Structures are given as C-alpha cells and as structure tokens.
Structure 1
Amino acid sequence: MELKVEKRDLLGKKVESLRKQGLLPAELYGHGVANSHLSINTREFEKIYKEAGENTVINVTIDGSVKPVLIQDVQFHPVSGDIESVDFYEVRMDEEIEAAVPLEFVGESQVVKDGLGVFIEAMDEIEVEAYPSDIPKKIVVDISVLKAVGDSIYVKDLSITGKFTIKVDPETVIASIAELEKEEEVAAPEITPDQVVVETEEKKAVREAAKATKGEDES
C-alpha cells in the first residue's frame, strides 16, 4: 500500500486551512529520524487507514523518496468524529519493534446465551514484538470455549501462528465469564397478631374521639 504525502510549512492553528482544502496535517518521525511536517489527502488516507489499520506497513512517498511507515496515531474530532491529524512512524524492515495488536472476539459462549453468566472483556489489544512486515493485523480469540461461570481465557491460551512474540505475561486474563448479579429481594415486614390487634384498637380509639368531637360541635 502506498500513500503520497507532501511537506508543509503551515503549523499550529494555521493547519485549519489545510482541512478546508481536503488535506490532513501529519507528522513523520522514528528512531534516528528527523521529524517532518506533512500534509496528505484526507480521502486517500481514509481508504488506506480502513484497510491497513495501525499494524500494517505502508509506503509513503515524499519528494520521490519512499519510506516504510506504520500509522502510529490518528486524532479524531470529539463531536464530528472526522480525522483531524495523523502521525506516521518510520520503521526499519530489518529491526524488530513492539506494537499493540487488536483482539477480535468471535464465537458465542453458551452460558451467556443461556442467560446464566456475563462476558467480561479484560483486554482489547495485546503487545507483540516482530519485524514490521510480520506484525499481525489482529489476533482472533474464540470465546465459545467459555462454558461455565468462572471460566477464563489467558494469554497462554492464544493460538499463535505468525512470526511474532507476545510481550504480555502468559497468565494474564484476556476474557472471562462472571456470574450475573442477582437483584436483592426486599422481604415484606412481618406483622404479628398482637400488632394487628393493637393497630385495630388504635384506629377504633381515633374514630371514637372523632365522633365525640363532632357531637360537641353540633351541640
């Protein structure tokens, strides 16, 4: 995948004029690489980002020079959700790097389907180490193996087929099934026969007093 970018001179609040032209402000940096201020076509970047995500190496062309990069960070507008800026990290294809790879949960837990438990997602991404070209786009986690309340999937349970190393403790929980919280039942107050008699006598006394007061008023 390739993306053409251009160097820019506009900085700070002035980059807003770029967005009005359908361009995004971007930064390029890396280990031992001087920082570069860039601009890219918004639509072209959106297409690349949708396909590559943040774990696939893409080639950016700057003044005829091709550089392998990862999409390091994407900033979104808090209201519209539009992309506002992008960071690229230049990599060396012969050096291993660490990257966060998203976890994709597939399948269905029968205990959750039966309404006996709730699925808890403890992690949504995991750190790996690999050469840039070997970084997986995602790691699939099958949750159908969670068959009872208390069952868990650990990092050590992941099915790894690529050329990368997971940099997380194997005993770390990725997902689990927890017990559904039960609604507390409020017990009705107990009333003894003695209480019923007392309440009845009290009500009778109130009625008698009311009658007496009414008789005095009429006289």
Structure 2
Amino acid sequence: MANIFELKLREDFGKVAAKRSRSNGLIPGVVYGDQIKSRHFALDPRDIDKMKKASQKGTGLLDVLFAGEKDPVKVVIQNIETHSVKGVYEHIDLYQVRMDRELNTEAALEFSGSSKAVRDLGGILVKQHDKLPISCLPSALISHVEVNIDSLNTFEDVIRVKDLKLPEGVVTSLSADEIVAAVTEPRSEAELEELNKEVEVDVDKIEVTGEKKEEPEEGSEAAEEKPEKKKE
C-alpha cells in the first residue's frame, strides 16, 4: 500500500540481537509512545531513506503497519542513529502518536526571499535559529515554517518569532520577541587588517607564576651532600 511502511517485528532484543540484524542488512528499531507498549522491529535501510523523504515532504506523520496486523498506526521519526565513522544507519526510534493529544516537536525553518541589506549593502545574514519548537495536535503537524527575508532592508531590521506565520493550532514556546534572523554589517578593511595582524609577544616580559627554587652555589654549604658510601 502506498505511503504505508511495513515493519517486521523482532522477538529478540539487546546489543547482540541488534548486531545480528545489522549483519543481515537490516536496521533495528523501536516504536514507543505514551501508554503504548514498545515494539521492536527490523527495517531495510532503504526504507529509512523513504521514511525521511516522506517525513520532510509532508507533515511529519507516517503510517506504519506491523506485519500480520490490519490497521496501520501513526508515528513520527523521533531519532535516527548513524555510525560516527561509516555514516550508515544503526538504529531508528519511532514515536507512536495519539491523535487526541498534543505533540511537542520541532519544525525546520526554511529561509526564502532576498534581503536588500545583503544584496545591495554587502551585509551578512545571521540565522539565530534553524528549527522552531512547536506544540500542536497531530492533525495540525507541520514539518517546516517559511521565513521570508524580503523585509531585511537595513542593518536595523530583524525578523522576530511574532513575524512568523504559523498555521492555526500550532504554537511555539519561544518568546514572541525572540530574534530569528538579522543582517550584520560587513567588516571594514581596517577591522580585517587589525584581525590579520600578528600578535607580537616579548618572551622576556612573560611572567612565570609559581615559586622559583634557588639553586645552591657550587661548593657551598647549601649544596646537597652526597650520602657517604658504606664500608663493606
């Protein structure tokens, strides 16, 4: 069935079982949720690619069907672990949602438009956030929020959270006055030259902290006496 991902349940759990799944070309995963019994499964890594693509294109909600069952359930991708060196998938967490309860998640901020302060004044666009924490019912879930930067005409202009257009039923925990994006002035040639100057250090003026030991003069009484060799 289109847009429904079938999951094959795993009966064995733990690190050894997860390693065995990976050696068979499958990625171990778990589905869990509020007052929902966790269920473990194994999935083809190509299906994870499809899940990610479907999640990014739509609302973030996915339909999954456990093998042998009739009705799919709604989930969101909670976390995907990848190998730190190889970059391959190692584990996936899916959160099963309840349609009557709010979700706390994040929506990506997608910047669009053209800023006059960047285009004509040579400014630098500074993005204070790349994701927005949101709360909503699953039916109102969104995957991204558009941030149009056309209004950034000068270095004094900013885009705040209150300027974002959120759909009905979607709220964010960030302050309405929180800055999302702004444009900073480019550095002057004098500032760049100052940054590029080498810092000259006079090693003779470096102060050494800590107590300095006085070395005894050669042949003085302060010199350490060598222990007398014992006679056999």
TM-score, reference length from structure 1 = 0.77
C-alpha spacing 1:145/1:13, structure 2 compared with 1 (3 Å): farther
Q: Secondary structure of 2:72's match?
A: strand
- Identify the match of residue 106 of structure 2 among 100, 114, 128: 100
Which of the residues 60, 65, 85 maps onto 1:61?
65
Q: Deviations over 1:25-71 (max 9, x none)?
A: 11111111222222112112211211213952112212415221111
In the alignment, structure 1 residue 21 sits paired with structure 2 residue 16: no
State percent identity of aligned pairs. Answer: 27
| Higher helix fraction (1 or 2) | 1
Counterparts of 2:24 and 2:65, CA distance in 1: 20
1:113-192 aligned within 5 A: 113-182=119-188, 183-184=190-191, 185=193
Superposition CA RMSD, Å: 2.0
Alignment of 1:191-206 (within 5 A): none
Check conservation: 1:55, 1:101, Cα contact below 8 A: no
SS of residue paired to 1:145: coil
Supply the distance in 1 between the matched residues of 2:28 and 2:47 (Cα, whole angstroms): 13
- Unaligned stretches of 5+ residues in structure 2: 195-232
Quick one: which of 11, 14, 30 aligns to 1:11? 14
Contact preservation (8 Å) 2:110, 2:145: yes
Code of the residue aligned with 2:60 in structure 1: it is T
In the alignment, does 2:44 pair up with 1:41?
A: yes
Structure 1's 133 and 22: CA in aligned 2 closer, same or farther, altered over 3 A? Answer: farther
The answer (yes or no) to whether the contact 1:3–1:45 under 8 Å persists in 2 is no
User: Which of 116, 119, 132 is the equivalent residue of 1:110?
Assistant: 116
Instruction: Mark the runs of 5 or more structure 1 residues left unpaired by the alignment.
Output: 187-219
The offset of 1:10, in angstroms, is 4.2
Which residue type is aligned with residue 117 of structure 2?
V
Higher-Rg member (1/2): 1
- 1:79-111 Cα deviation digits (max 9, x unpaired): 333222110111111111111111000112122
Partners of 1:38 and 1:103 in 2: CA distance: 32
Cα distance between partner residues in 1 of 2:35 and 2:158: 42
**What TM-score results when the alignment is normalised by the length of structure 2?**
0.73
The whole-number CA distance in structure 2 between the counterparts of 1:107 and 1:83 is: 35
> Aligned residue pairs: how many?
186
Shift of 1:13: 4.2
